[in-house]
Amino acid sequence: MSDRQAILEWVNTTLRSEFRDVAHIPAKAVAKILHAMFGEDRCPLHDIMFSDDSTAAQLRNATRVLEMARRCGYNGVLEASKWAQHTDFISTLVLWRWIKASNATHPFPSNYDFSLDLRGSAAPKRPRVEPEKLTAKHTLIVVHSNERAAQETVKAVQELEESKKRLQDVLGGRPSDSDDASATASVQETCSSCHSHIQRRLAHNLERIRRLEAARAKILAAAKSKDITRLFEALDGAY
C-alpha cells in the first residue's frame, strides 16, 4: 500500500468517511482531526465554517487550519489558496504525513465526535431567550424565586417612604421629587441653625432618596420591557 493510500484509509477510518483522494479532503475535516489531537487552546473550531462549502468558505477554512497546524509544529510550505484549489498535491501530502505522524504522540480521545456537521467537544451554545417573548407570568415566577432580591426591594421602598416622611416633618412640606437641587437648598436654608450632624443626616436621606428613585425607575422600566437580566440588576442595586 502506498503512502497516499495509507493516509486516505486512515482518514476515512477516523472520520467514517468515503473520500477518494487525499487532495480533496476538505480543510474542515483537518480542523476536526487537529482539534481532537491538540485540543481547543491551539486548535479552536469557532472560526471554521462547517456548513458552508462555497469557494470563499473553503479558502477561509484552509487559512485557519494552516494557522492551527503551524501552532502545533507543522513547518511545510503549503499555501491556503493552492490547498483550497487542489493545485499543490505534493505539499498537501506533506501536510497529511505530518498529521498522521503527530497522531502517534497525540492520540485521539476515545469519545471524540468527528462528524463534520458538529464541532466535536466544543460546548454547544445555550439557546437565547428573547426578552420580548417572556410573559408577565414568567416574570413573576422568576422574581418570586429570587427571595432575597424581593425582600430587599420591599425594604428599600419602605425606607424611601420613611425618608420622605421625615423630610416632610422637618421642612414643613413635601420635597419635590423632580428637583433635587431645590430640595437640598431648602434643607440648607431651614437648617442653617441646626447642628452639623443633623444636616449630615438630612443630606444622607436626600442622597438615599435619589438612589432609591433611580432604582425604582430602572425596576419599572425592566418590568415593562420584560427584561429579566435588567430586572435582576435593578433589584440587586435597589438596596
- pLDDT of 57 > 50? The answer is yes
User: What pLDDT is stored for residue 135 in this prediction?
Assistant: 52
CATH of the domain at 67: 1.10.418.10
Query: At 192, phi and psi to the nearest 5?
Result: -60, -25
The residue among 85, 43, 39 whose CA lies nearest residue 62 is 85
Same domain? For 86 and 144 the reply is no
Cα 94 to Cα 168: distance, rounded to the nearest angstrom: 85
pLDDT above 80 (res 41): yes
Expressed as residue numbers, the domain containing 187 is 131-236
Residue written as grid cell 471554521:
48
pLDDT beyond 90 at 203: no
Residue 191 scores a pLDDT above 60: no
**What pLDDT score does 195 carry?**
57
Asked if residue 124 belongs to a domain, the reply is no
d(CA 181, CA 207): 11
- Going by C-alpha positions, the residue among 95, 92, 117, 91 that lies closest to residue 15 is 117
Tell me, what's the pLDDT at 88? 92
Which ranges constitute the DSSP H helices of 103-227?
A: 136-145, 147-171, 180-190, 196-225
Task: Give residue 195's identity as a one-letter amino acid code.
Answer: H
pLDDT band at 148 (very low <50, low <70, confident <90, very high): low
Domain boundary among 64, 81, 102: 102
Q: Are residues 156 and 197 both part of a single domain?
A: yes
pLDDT (mean) for 21-42: 93
Higher pLDDT: 170 or 114? It is 114
Residue 110 lies in a domain: no
Q: Based on the fold, state whether residues 84 and 170 are members of the same structural domain.
A: no
Residue-wise pLDDT tens digits, 207-237:
778 778 887 788 888 777 777 777 777 666 6
Domain end position, chosen among 102, 117, 140? 102
**Under 8 Å CB-to-CB from 193, ≥6 apart: which residues?**
none
Per-residue confidence (pLDDT) for residue 119, from 0 to 100 = 39
Domain boundary among 48, 81, 102: 102
C-alpha–C-alpha distance, residues 22 and 40, integer Å: 25
User: Do 167 and 77 belong together in one domain?
Assistant: no
Amino acid type, 215? A
Distance CA(66)–CA(69), nearest Å, equals 5
For residue 182, the model assigns a pLDDT of 53
Radius of gyration of the chain (CA): 33
Q: Are 38 and 87 contained in the same domain?
A: yes
The residue among 202, 161, 162 whose CA lies nearest residue 180 is 202
Number of domains in the chain: 2
